[in-house]
Amino acid sequence: MPLREILLLGNPQLRVKSTEVKRFNDEYEANLKDLKDTLLDLQKTRKIGRAIAAPQIGWMRNVLFFNSPDRSFVMVNPKILSKSKETIEVWDSCFCFNIAFFIKIERFKEIKVKYLDIKGITKIETFNDDLSELIQHEIDHLNGILATDHLKNSKQIVMRQEWERRFK
pLDDT 10s digits, 109-123: 999 999 999 989 999
This prediction's pTM: 0.95
Distance, in Å, from the CA atom of 14 to the CA atom of 7, rounded to the nearest integer, reads 7
Number of residues assigned to the chain: 168
Task: Determine the pLDDT at residue 99.
Answer: 93
| pLDDT tens digits along 33-83 | 999 999 999 999 999 999 999 999 999 999 999 999 999 999 999 999 999
Which among 114, 96, 108 is positioned nearest to 133, based on CA atoms?
108
Ordered domains of the chain (ranges, CATH): 12-166 (3.90.45.10)
Model pLDDT, residue 143? 98
Q: What CA–CA distance (Å, rounded) separates 54 from 31?
A: 8
81-108 per-position pLDDT tens digit:
999 999 999 999 999 999 999 999 999 9
Catalytic machinery residues: 138
- Give the distance, in angstroms, between the CA of residue 120 and the centroid of all CA atoms in the same chain: 20
Taking alpha carbons only, the member of 13, 18, 15 closest to residue 142 is 18
The pLDDT, as a whole number, for residue 167 is 84
Give the number of other Cβ atoms within 10 Å of residue 109's Cβ. Answer: 17
| Nearest of 43, 33, 42, 31 to residue 6 by alpha carbon | 42
Is a pLDDT exceeding 80 seen at residue 1? no
